[in-house]
Amino acid sequence: MLEVKDLSVHYGVIEAIRNVSFEVNEGEIVSLIGANGAGKSTILKAISGLHQPSNGEIVYEGTAITKETPKKIVEKGISQVPEGRHIFSGMTVMENLEMGAFLRKDKAEVQNDLNNIFARFPILKERMKQDAATLSGGEQQMVAMGRALMSRPRLLLLDEPSMGLAPILIKEIFHIIEEINQTGTTVLLIEQNAKMALKIANRGYVLETGNVVQTGTGKELLESDVIQKAYLGG
């Protein structure tokens, strides 16, 4: 579904990622793990069209999207839940969710999808008229995920969904990610909580200073001595 080939991205003279290659098959959950500064978020921003690569190619469903605008990329079926959630403050929960469907014209189906979001996240239905910026961190993460799902993505990019959340909420968010995947959405997940990310992943890639240094199934990486010591406190 997604193929990233020899991707490099620079911030000025600084090379954030260098010749990164990986792939995501339809129906998978693929996790990218690595320390802060490894280049994980930069990869997602490049896929979303928010950063222009200095080298390499991004191919989605057989078509190169390396030079497409973020709008075109959303239209093609890729949606991102950004690190830090980026809730629209001063707008209600409902308005935030509706923003996720801003490219859609099928009003009846948009309403149907809103109903599905409220069924998945009942707390959001209770708070639909509340300023989304006043919600708790966990509730804001649900808004951000719901907003992304409102575009009906076939590929969902998740950037640090557990950041700043209490352990009980982290479990809930990861359970929701699995549910989203089981309903047919492919997931590319970036996450510092490597243990949780690899537990739900079909496959994973380990990044260090802008390079992929190890890959395997989620289970293989969880059981790797190197990964245990570097990321899992083993």
Measured distance CA(102)–CA(165) in Å, rounded = 28
Residues contacting 146, CB < 8 A, separation 6+: 97, 100, 117, 120, 121, 124
The pLDDT tens digits of the residues spanning 71-102 come to: 999 999 999 998 877 888 899 999 999 999 98
> What pLDDT does residue 233 have?
61
User: Which has the closest alpha carbon to 56: 67, 69, 45, 70?
Assistant: 67
**Residue where the block lists tokens 């590929």:** 155
> What pLDDT does residue 145 have?
92
Q: Of the ranges 128-132, 133-137, 210-214, which one carries the lowest mean pLDDT score?
A: 210-214
Q: 231 or 208, which is more confident?
A: 208
**Domains contained in the chain, CATH given:** 2-231 (3.40.50.300)
204 - beta bridge partners? 31, 216
CB 198 within 8 A of CB 218: yes
C-alpha distances in Å from residue 224, one per residue of 39, 73, 188, 221, 231: 22, 35, 21, 5, 10
What single-letter amino acid sits at 182? Q
The pLDDT tens digits of the residues spanning 145-203 come to: 999 999 999 999 999 988 888 888 888 889 989 999 999 999 999 988 888 999 999 99
Residues contacting 175, CB < 8 A, separation 6+: none
* Mean of per-residue pLDDT scores for the chain: 91
Q: Of the ranges 100-109, 117-126, 213-222, which one carries the lowest mean pLDDT score?
A: 100-109
Q: At 40, is the pLDDT very low, low, confident or very high (cuts 50, 70, 90)?
A: confident
